[in-house]
Amino acid sequence: MQTLPDTLCYLNGEYSSLRDAKVSVLDRGFIFGDGIYEVVPVYGRRLFRFDEHLARLGRSLAKLRIANPHSPEQWLERSRKLVAALAEKAGAEDQLIYIQVTRGVALRDHVMPTDIEPTVFMMASPMKHATAEQRHHGVACVTARDFRWERGDIKSTSLLGNVLARQMSADHGAVETVMFRDGYLTEASASNVWVVHEGAVLGPPKSEHVLEGIRYDLIRELCEETGIAYNLRPIPEGEVLAADELLLSSATKEVLPITKLDGQPVGHGALRGKPGPVYARLYEAYQRAKAAQSI
């Protein structure tokens, strides 16, 4: 049994040790996975693109018909308190703030009750950065059919499909599983996927099959800043396999090069199997954004 860290968390209006926090066994998040979550990166004790994360949290809540339980000011105040507590206790300057909202506690019934209070949970944890070796050499990924449900646009706590997909890559010593639905790229188990073709960055269009990662708009902004063409369109599996570069993006990975896919090197010529120039430019621009867009 894992020993939980003795760090501060927030649960339904109270701050307590993570070891002591408890929810009802009839919480619909436990029974049905009926809830949503957000993960906000923190750099140097400052929250990165916090407004964008709150906006996506609001969209997910609205799609599940759960009223947002806090104002933006309340979310910010509570997040900052958890950041300060973890920095004080563990010396962690770079962190992740995890926010989860479930529909609340009710007798088990599939129908959504309307007279219950949402369960709100928040915690901070140290950020695990990509390693220098991963950034220098890139990472390996595997591919799979996207077998998850049809509402990938909701950042739901019902993540069993993502867990199964991520385990497929772990079983092969890879860091991610790149998925395809009906022959077209969707996303990875916990990351967005980008294709570089002739110097342009391509991504799947926003749809119910793809979570609109916070980095979707960020990558677009970084491409504009660095003069890289950017386009969202359906991407056939063949284009992914023939890409000049492949990239992952997420809160923890930032932007990370895929240099091996299903055991085969990514790319062409002298850069085959190596991080490419588009990745290098986007990574440097990402570091500048972290300094400019954190509060």
The pLDDT assigned to 116 comes to 96
Residues 227-238, mean pLDDT to the nearest whole number: 96
Mean pLDDT for the chain overall: 94
Residues 183-207, mean pLDDT to the nearest whole number: 94
The pLDDT assigned to 29 comes to 96
| Closest of 129, 115, 111 to residue 41, by C-alpha | 129
Residues 6-29, mean pLDDT to the nearest whole number: 96
DSSP-based three-state secondary structure for 4: coil
The pTM of the whole model exceeds 0.85: yes
For residue range 214-232, what is the model confidence (pLDDT) as tens digits? Answer: 778 899 999 999 999 999 9
| Closest of 243, 235, 283, 211 to residue 60, by C-alpha | 211
Residues 265-283, mean pLDDT to the nearest whole number: 96
* Catalytic annotation, residues: 155
The pLDDT assigned to 208 comes to 77
What is the share, in percent, of the chain residues with pLDDT greater than 70? 100
For residue 211, pLDDT beyond 80:
no
**How many CB atoms sit inside 10 A of residue 247's CB?**
28
DSSP-based three-state secondary structure for 136: helix
For residue range 86-111, what is the model confidence (pLDDT) as tens digits? Answer: 999 999 999 999 999 999 999 999 99
Residues 62-72, mean pLDDT to the nearest whole number: 96
Local confidence band at 179 (pLDDT 50, 70, 90 cut-offs): very high
